[in-house]
Amino acid sequence: MLPKDMLALGTKRSAIRELFEYGKIRKAQVGEDKVYDFSLGNPSIPAPKEVDEALSELLSTDNTVALHGYSSAQGDAIVRKTIAEYLNSVHGTSFNADNLYMTCGAAASLCISLRALLLPGEEVIAFAPFFPEYVVFVEGQGGKVAVVPPTASFQPDLEAFENAINENTKAVIINSPNNPSGVVYSEETIKAIAQILEKKSRELGREIFIIADEPYRELVYDADTTVPYITKYYKNTLVCYSYSKSLSLPGERIGYILVPDEVCDSKNVYACICGAGRALGYVCAPTLFQQVVAKCCGKTGDVSAYKKNRDLIYSELSALGYECVKPDGAFYLFVKALEDDANAFCERAKAHDLLIVSGDGFFCPGYVRISYCVDEKTIKNSIPAFRALAEEYAK
């Protein structure tokens, strides 16, 4: 007998991966440039030059044995100190090396944090729309996801949030800038979430944590957009960070978990993080890339390329009559499907070789996600196909 849940996860790919694999086959049939693949959130800009410089510098030393070796389970102490000091310089916080635990990217940060916090059957709240893998991560760690439905603005529904909190609630995941809406949660929203959590924690006599999933923190496009640093608003906040998007390093698997001292019983929460990393078999984050990211604090790829793409695709699709949520950040455009059934809409888009993802998987029916982390050329060349698709519905 094999475990049914793992069998199901392993035999059925996510809708996003399914579409990406279809795109590869279709490109081989009709040519790369004839398929407009907006399926995956794979960065399209190169890592900044500082990454390559750091790699060259590190690999030119005599100590490559250590660079390819194990690090401490929680990550190299100097790397963690460097990152803590960088965070303090940006956010005015007072973190130190012992608040950080290096991980293999945001997915690992989330799974480890969830494993560290959850007792069997406890609930984790997520605001729709959200990254579909949250369900896999939460259920994989023995918890249940409680979904708060979306609002028209895609800022969280605070009343529904308050009503969703109960004696089983252990955490709420906040992902801003958001995948898939591109929305940044305002300071007002974060303050309100913090207030509700404080009130509910008191009423229920239990700690409720915010898990801030922040792989897109640096990907914001307008001078007046700020992404509130949630540890400053709510004490029981763990930050799950990843360099996958900011440094265009998703294949290198590197990120961290931040456990501030203000977190209730923080030393034991940190110990649970260490225990969870161990139980999940992570051993340590990639040693070489721990060193690289420490040398690249505050650097990003050329984010202006994403801004250009955002402006282009948002204005072109809006002009064609598509109802789009203007993204403040990340690299996704969330668009109202031209029929109620977003899956059917995506199938009709596919007939025009437009590969876009249904919002159903993001718990937001009626919408589709377009990942604009692609070549500008792909966006420009796709516009006639988007036009033809809209015309088909206008008939």
Give the binding site for ligand PLP (CB under 6 A): 41, 105-107, 131, 175, 179, 213, 215, 242, 244, 250, 255
Q: How many alpha carbons fall within 13 Å on the CB side of residue 315?
A: 7
Write out the two tokens for 15.
């809708």
Q: CA-to-CA distance for 332 and 355, rounded, in angstroms?
A: 13
Considering the complex, state which of residue 106 and residue 338 has its C-beta at the smaller distance from ligand PLP. 106
What minimum distance in Å lies between the beta carbon of 147 and ligand PLP?
15
Q: Under a CB-based contact definition with an 8 Å cutoff, are residues 143 and 124 in contact?
A: yes
What minimum distance in Å lies between the beta carbon of 115 and ligand PLP?
15
Considering the complex, state which of residue 41 and residue 301 has its C-beta at the smaller distance from ligand PLP. 41
Q: Are strands 367-371 and 332-336 parallel, antiparallel or unpaired?
A: antiparallel
Q: CA-to-CA distance for 373 and 379, rounded, in angstroms?
A: 10
What minimum distance in Å lies between the beta carbon of 303 and ligand PLP?
16
Considering the complex, state which of residue 15 and residue 383 has its C-beta at the smaller distance from ligand PLP. 15
Q: CA-to-CA distance for 126 and 128, rounded, in angstroms?
A: 6
Quick one: how many helices (H) and strands (E) in the chain? 14, 13
Considering the complex, state which of residue 141 and residue 244 has its C-beta at the smaller distance from ligand PLP. 244
Write out the two tokens for 51.
């990454």
Considering the complex, state which of residue 137 and residue 221 has its C-beta at the smaller distance from ligand PLP. 137
What minimum distance in Å lies between the beta carbon of 9 and ligand PLP?
16
Q: Which residues of 93-127 are buried (b: 16+ CB within 10 A; e: fewer)?
A: bebebbbbbbbbbbbbbbbbbbbbbbeeebbbbbb
What minimum distance in Å lies between the beta carbon of 168 and ligand PLP?
23
Q: CA-to-CA distance for 110 and 282, rounded, in angstroms?
A: 13
| Alpha helices (H) along 12-157 | 15-30, 49-59, 64-67, 77-91, 105-117, 133-140
What minimum distance in Å lies between the beta carbon of 176 and ligand PLP?
10
Q: Please, which residues have CB within 8 angstroms of residue 10's CB and are 6 or more apart in sequence?
A: none
What minimum distance in Å lies between the beta carbon of 175 and ligand PLP?
5
Q: CA-to-CA distance for 286 and 75, rounded, in angstroms?
A: 9
What minimum distance in Å lies between the beta carbon of 42 and ligand PLP?
8
Considering the complex, state which of residue 106 and residue 294 has its C-beta at the smaller distance from ligand PLP. 106
Considering the complex, state which of residue 213 and residue 328 has its C-beta at the smaller distance from ligand PLP. 213
Considering the complex, state which of residue 122 and residue 214 has its C-beta at the smaller distance from ligand PLP. 214
Q: Which helix (H) or strand (E) covers residue 147, if one does? A: strand 144-148
